[in-house]
Structure formats: C-alpha cells, structure tokens
A and B are shown apart, each in its own frame.
Chain A
C-alpha cells in the first residue's frame, strides 16, 4: 500500500479494516472512528483521490492503492476550516477535510448530485445546496456545518479563480 506517498508493507488478517490498520498498526490516528458502520464519515480517507469510508474497507482489498489520510493532506481547506470555525471538538474534522477534497474533485470532474437540477448539465454550479448535499456523508454532532460549508465554498471559489 502507498500511504501518504510512502510505500508501506503490512501483514494483516483479512478482517482488519483499513481504518484499524491506519490507526492501530501505523499510528495514523488522524483518521477517526465514529461508528464503524459507514454511518458517520469520520473515517473518510482518499483512495487514489476518491473519498471512501475506511471503516467498511477491508485493508487487504486496498493492496497496491494510494491512500491519503489527513496526515498527508496539505490543502487550503485546513486554514479555511480554522478561519471559518468549521470545527468544534475536532473529531469529525479530518473526515470532513478529506471528504471535501474528494468532493471538490468529483465536482470538478462534472459529477452530479441528488440536488443537481439539470442532470445533463456537464458542469453543475457548486451552490451551497450542492455543497451541503455532497457533504452529507460526514456528520458533525457539534453542528459546525455552517463553517464547513463556508470553508468549502471559499476554497472552491479560490480554486476556480486560479
């Protein structure tokens, strides 16, 4: 597996999830466990640039893939989260950030969402409603949603200007 740019060799039982491998075997505890059921998004990591829930991923299935965890992220979203107070306790934050990075890439690739009005539009505008729907797989019990949406919008706009 390549994790945050470095090749890592792990011998694991097949039942070990990618999440547990990261946290327990590799000490990469930035990726969080909130439910272990695919119901909260705290464990979101990027696999070859796509966001997934690492709790429902058996590590053995991801042999040879490029995994990015929050520890490997260096992205304007991080500063935006601090500036917009897109976090409180911080437990869902790494998952929100990884998810938002994956989401921006999906949007840039023209992927629609459940709230996209015209499905065939190749380049749907990233409205607040779009951001909220696309980020709905990441729960935040502290309720920092407004700040998260502000952060994502800010970074998306800056990326478009660049």
Chain B
C-alpha cells in the first residue's frame, strides 16, 4: 500500500518509471504564478468589439416590444441584436450517441430566433460596442416589455408532480431487486426520511467568456470549455460552416466543474454578434450573467429508507429522488446512481423522478448524482447506525457487498474495507463515543463523522500523436483540457515513463482544436482516456525506433526483439546495450519519428466510435468500476449560536493508480472543499414567485473561504485498477462525494441534531 501524501516528498507508487506516482510540480506552475498564462479573454485582436447581454425578467412569455433606440444612441454602440434583427442560427440537432456533440447544447432554444422567453435570465438582446463599459451601459438602456404566460418555477411546490425519469443507455433511472417496501415494513429496525438539497452553482472564478473571430467563413473562438471538440462541431453546425473551418482554443480554463461542459447562450450569441458587426467580438459575462444563462446543479428531494435485522444486516434499501430539468433543456441528475452499488441489501429499490420547470436548464456539476445522492444515503446509514447503537463504519462493513447487489456483476477494484481501515487509523477513529453531544471544548460542541465516497469510472475515446525529434525532445499533441487538474502534467509523466526520457524533454501541446481531439473533460475520465491512447502511441513509437535501430549493423540494438527492449535513459536498451532516440534518428538521417492513435476521419472515425461504444457497453456489463473513499471529519458547533466549523479532515481514497501524488491530492482536496461549501453554505436561491435567482453573485452565494477550510489530509491506496488504462480510476469528482454526509453526521454527533436539508446552517441548530 502506498499513500499519496500531504507532503510532496513521498515515495513514488512503484511503477516502471520514475515519474508516474511522483509528486511532480505542475508543468504550467510557473506561467500560472507569474501571470504569463493567457486565459480565454486575454488574447488581443485588432478591432476587437465588446458584447453585453440583456436578460429577460420574466420566467415565461413573449417579448411584445423591445426598444433599442436609447442603446443605439450611445456613442460607440455598433449594434443591438434582438429577435427582430438577428440572423438565423440553425436549430439544435436531436441528441444521438453516434454524434456526442449533439449533447452539448445548453438548451434547445434557438436564441434570438423568436420572441419566446423560456426562463428568467434568457438573453433577449446582445449589445455590441467599442468597449465593454459602453456595451454594458447600453445594455442597461434596452427596454423590453413582455406578455407573460403561466409558468411553473418552484421546485418545492412542483415536486409532487414528478414523473419517472426516462431510461437511457448511461442512466437507467431505476433498478430493483426483491420487494424493498415489504422488507422495510417488516424490518426489525428501520429509518425512513426525506433529504433535500438546493440548487448549486459552479462559480469557477473565471467568468464565462467568448472571443469570436470570423475570417470569411472560417471561425476562431477562444472559449474556456471542457469540450473543445464538441463545441467546435456544435458551432460548425449552428453557423452552417464545415467543421474544419472552426477552431476552438482553450489552453487554460479558469475552473469549470461541469459548468463549461455545455455550449451556453453567451457563446452562440458572441459568434453571432461577430458575424453581424464583421469584427472580432468578445463577451465576458458578468457574474450575474453566469447565473442567469448557465445552469447549475438540480435541487433534489430524496427519500432514503433502510431496514435491517437487529444485528445490522440490511434487508431493505430504498433510495428515490425528485430532481428538476429546465423545460428547454437540462438532463437527469442521477441522484440514486450510487445506491445500487453501496450495500448488500436483500431488497433494493432505486428510482429517479423529475419535473420540468421554466428555469434555466440544469447542468452537470462535480459528481452529478453522487454528490447529492451520497448526502442522503450516507446520512441515512448513519441514522440507522445510531438507531442500532453500532459504530457507523462497523455497520457499513457488515453490509459491504462482494458483487453488485442487484445483478451480480463483479467489482473491478472494490477497496472500501481498505480505505476505511486506512482512514480510521489516520483519523484516530477508534474509541469514538457513539453518544451524540458527548464532547465539549469550551463554547464548542465537538463531533466526528464519516461517510463513503463513490464515483463511477468511465472512458472515452481519445486521439493522440507523439513525436520524438532528433534532439531527443518529445512532443505529445492532444486537444486535452487543463482546468486545474494538472492534465498536461499527468500526461507528460506518463509519456516520460513510457518512453524512458526525462520529463523536462516532454512537451504537451493541448487546448486547441487543431490538435488531435480529446474527449470532453468530464466524468473524471480525462486522465485514463488519454493515457490509454498515449500509452499505445508511445508503444508504437518505440517499435518504430527499434525498427530503425535493429536493422543497422552499427546499432547496439541490432537484431533486438521488442520484448527484450527497455525504454530508459532517453532511449532503448537491450541486453547487449542500447542507444538514445537521438542516436537512432541521427543514424537513420531522420529529423523525427511520429506515432498516432485515433485521429481518424470519415468512416474510420464512425467505426471507431461504434467500436468504442460497444466495448464501453460490454465493459459495463462485466464490471462495476469506480473510485471510492472514506471521508472523516471533525466539526465544532458553537453551543450558543449554532455556527458550524470544520476543524479536521482525513480522506482515504482508492483512485487506482496515482499518476501525480501532488496533483491528485489537490484534486481530492478541491472536491472536499467544494463539499464543505455544499454542506454548510452553498445554495442558489430561486424566488418561488418569479423564478428569478435572488443571489446571483459571490457576495451572497457563499463558497468556502480560506477560513472555512482546515488542513485536509489525503491518503490514497495507489493500487492500480487492473481493468483501467494505466490503472487509473479518476480523482476529479470522488472527492466531493460523501463530504456533506460526513459533515451532517458529525454535526449530529456534536449536537444530537439531525439536519436533512442542505445546507446545514445555524438556524437548523438553534
């Protein structure tokens, strides 16, 4: 067992090279700490014009009158684009698994194509001007009147009308075994409660921004996106130009967390505006504009009911959910997804329902489904442990499944017993009193809590090229997304080990649609997906190099077979000796050697997609693959005021192979910090009368600040998953799962008060 350390001086995880597993510094650390890294809104263009949006102020209806005169009269205004004068975009395509870019529209609305308003905040006009100040001021002068139509906007009152979620390939929405309700009613001990979570917003610190530059029918877009390739295809479709004509550039993304996965209104309207004014146009959304046009995480109401024998053996597990979508877009929030894998109950029912509201469509946010689902499930298991009078870890271990509790599939790498043992030891869990309100330190009531973290592991096809040059330099080219995960760093480590070269000689080009396409950065899939192709490309490259060398009488590798060759010290080595790539290339008179994986076009690309989907589905039928962990925390609750502060955290995780001990620990910590926000302070508040977001800003939507975050100790098993490329299960999302439950459980332990509605605020504890 190895541990991804809190300190960067820990040993590597024992792979074949020196880099994978080591706490390597980020390759972009220097440009990010000196201000040299250019983000999307930071590329100058001559003649750049600036856009600002005008947002609807009703939830549903029609624009009856829109007055641009005052805005147009402002000196420096170039255009006011409304539904009355906007050129048409092509409508959104129907979703299809054969063209995954059809999944990226943020909504089905064809913006500014009609007078219809579908949510409060929908853009009804775009103002383009010589400067951002002028554009924003002129936008404030655009007046619209509306004919309002009946709308439904309040989750709390509409949730009773929820309908079962439609089944899809990726999310069946329902699973059952036995008769869970009957088992619940006869269980010796049972808990059965409702849990609620509010809307959350990503609040990446970089505002959503687009810079669009048309050159004839060629389009260049600077856009902080999590999905360069799909954004490119979608823009090509909407604006009726060949995909080859569209270039999307995003080398650095200033945080995303799911919020920059879809293509939202602002992006499309900037491209449209650039066409209208015939100049490059930049839109930087206001923070309020982000809330009004970019969806957040769906709210939820969840029921979790658990029944058990007197010894704690689960006989019934029911987890049902109601979440929302927008009437014009958004997708299911798989809140119950983790519950079918969680515990070996004899009878299981998981089922998701949803309602459609006249609100901005919801979207993915870090661990969609699991983040909020784990709050309900892992609170409930704590409640059951309390009822039974057993330690909550002990209860979990008694019900730890050997296989998928519903259909008997094998787990590829189920290590919950190990992570609990590791976390409990590091946290000092042993000897904890079961009794709530048993520890007090001055004005503080002290409690500890624990919860399981879980996030499925998936893969997408990725295209990569690798080149070794005559000087020994290695260039990895892949349109991957660097949004803070250390994606380029991780792939540089993998390439350096695979080729046996120093990491300083590896350069990773990323974040540009002119590079071989990477899948969207989502679902914690990026590292494993790209590693799969990168490792294959490096293998090809080594074979090509060997082929050059082994035929040469002068090479120490003459006649060597691939199986006996090792890549190290900047080249290839066999028993009789070896030489550097530079030497091999020099002798062969070659300036470089290239290898590519993926990067097909036309029929081959479609065939590749089909092949991938079949393997994906087959794998899913064979394995349950997931990252998991155990979250331990200590909270202190002010006995007078009910203020809750998190004072200690230990997270023990199985994320498969740890590629970079430093950045993996940071990713997991980042998830935990966002989870602390979710637990204690984050909520997007929608006015139930109007559907208008009341707190669209960082002063009123409270993400955690420095003072809210204690030292977070991270430990990883570091053991590769045998079924995943490079053994990687993904670390981007599992960190946030279980966090809110661990905190709510600790609050219960500290105070005796069980809070089932997030966020847990002091008014719940007075």
Interface contact B32-A90, CB-CB below 8 Å: yes
Chain A residues near B254 (CB, 8 Å)? 32, 89-91
The reply on A65 being an interface residue by CB < 8 A is no
> What per-residue 1/0 map shows which CB atoms of A23-67 lie under 8 Å from chain B?
110011111111111111010000000000000000000000000
The reply on B709 being an interface residue by CB < 8 A is yes
A81 to B667 CA separation, bound complex (whole angstroms): 15
Chain B residues near A88 (CB, 8 Å)? 255, 484-486, 663, 666-667, 670
> What per-residue 1/0 map shows which CB atoms of A128-146 lie under 8 Å from chain B?
1101110111111111111
Chain B residues near A131 (CB, 8 Å)? 706
Number of A-B contacts (CB under 8 A): 181
Q: How many residues of B contact A (CB 8 A)?
A: 64
Interface contact B30-A82, CB-CB below 8 Å: yes
A31 to B31 CA separation, bound complex (whole angstroms): 13
Given contacts A34-B205, A83-B25, contact A147 B32 (CB under 8 A): no
Interface contact B132-A85, CB-CB below 8 Å: no
Chain B residues near A70 (CB, 8 Å)? 33-35
The reply on A16 being an interface residue by CB < 8 A is yes
Chain A residues near B709 (CB, 8 Å)? 132, 143, 145-146
Interface contact A128-B711, CB-CB below 8 Å: yes
Chain B residues near A141 (CB, 8 Å)? 202-205, 255, 257, 674, 703
Chain A residues near B485 (CB, 8 Å)? 88
The reply on B232 being an interface residue by CB < 8 A is no
Tell me which of B39, B205, B665 contacts A140 (CB under 8 A): B205
Chain A residues near B28 (CB, 8 Å)? 90
The reply on B673 being an interface residue by CB < 8 A is yes
Tell me which of B36, B205, B287, B673 contacts A91 (CB under 8 A): B205
A135 to B29 CA separation, bound complex (whole angstroms): 21
Q: How far apart are A14's CB and chain B's nearest CB, in angstroms?
A: 10
Interface contact A146-B284, CB-CB below 8 Å: no
> What per-residue 1/0 map shows which CB atoms of A91-105 lie under 8 Å from chain B?
111100100000000
Nearest A residue to B209, CB-CB:
A33
Chain A residues near B257 (CB, 8 Å)? 141
The reply on B707 being an interface residue by CB < 8 A is yes
Tell me which of A35, A81, A129, A135 contacts B698 (CB under 8 A): A35
Chain A residues near B673 (CB, 8 Å)? 143, 145
Q: How far apart are B441's CB and chain A's nearest CB, in angstroms?
A: 15
Interface contact A91-B698, CB-CB below 8 Å: no
Given contacts A33-B207, A88-B670, contact A39 B706 (CB under 8 A): no
The reply on B38 being an interface residue by CB < 8 A is yes
Given contacts A37-B699, A88-B670, contact A83 B8 (CB under 8 A): yes
The reply on B127 being an interface residue by CB < 8 A is no
Q: How far apart are B237's CB and chain A's nearest CB, in angstroms?
A: 29
The reply on B346 being an interface residue by CB < 8 A is no
Interface contact B697-A32, CB-CB below 8 Å: no
The reply on B669 being an interface residue by CB < 8 A is yes
Q: Which of B33, B38, B673 has the most CB of A within 10 A?
A: B33
Chain A residues near B202 (CB, 8 Å)? 141
Nearest B residue to A152, CB-CB:
B706
> What per-residue 1/0 map shows which CB atoms of B669-685 lie under 8 Å from chain A?
11111100000000000
Q: How far apart are B644's CB and chain A's nearest CB, in angstroms?
A: 16
The reply on B712 being an interface residue by CB < 8 A is yes
Q: Which residues of A (102-123) have their CB < 8 Å from a CB of B?
A: 115
Interface contact A89-B204, CB-CB below 8 Å: yes
Chain B residues near A142 (CB, 8 Å)? 255, 484, 666, 670
Interface contact B205-A82, CB-CB below 8 Å: no
The reply on A149 being an interface residue by CB < 8 A is yes
A129 to B706 CA separation, bound complex (whole angstroms): 9
The reply on A159 being an interface residue by CB < 8 A is no
A13 to B74 CA separation, bound complex (whole angstroms): 15
Chain A residues near B763 (CB, 8 Å)? none
> What per-residue 1/0 map shows which CB atoms of B28-66 lie under 8 Å from chain A?
111111111111011010000000000000000000000
A90 to B27 CA separation, bound complex (whole angstroms): 12
Chain B residues near A39 (CB, 8 Å)? 287, 697-699
Interface contact A71-B34, CB-CB below 8 Å: yes
Chain A residues near B35 (CB, 8 Å)? 28-31, 69-71, 73, 94
Chain B residues near A78 (CB, 8 Å)? 30, 33-34
The reply on A148 being an interface residue by CB < 8 A is yes
Nearest B residue to A131, CB-CB:
B706
Chain B residues near A3 (CB, 8 Å)? none
Interface contact B252-A89, CB-CB below 8 Å: yes
Chain A residues near B486 (CB, 8 Å)? 88
Interface contact A145-B287, CB-CB below 8 Å: no
Tell me which of A30, A79, A132 contacts B36 (CB under 8 A): A30
Interface contact A93-B33, CB-CB below 8 Å: yes
Chain A residues near B30 (CB, 8 Å)? 78, 82
Chain A residues near B203 (CB, 8 Å)? 141
Q: Which 4 A-B pairs have the closest CB atoms?
A: A30-B35, A143-B673, A88-B484, A91-B254
A: residues with CB less than 8 A from B are 13, 15-16, 20, 23-24, 27-40, 42, 69-71, 73, 78-79, 81-85, 87-94, 97, 115, 128-129, 131-133, 135-149
Identify 11 new A-B residue pairs, CB closer than 8 A, beyond the known A39-B287, A139-B698: A24-B132, A34-B207, A37-B698, A82-B30, A88-B485, A90-B31, A136-B707, A137-B705, A141-B255, A143-B671, A143-B709
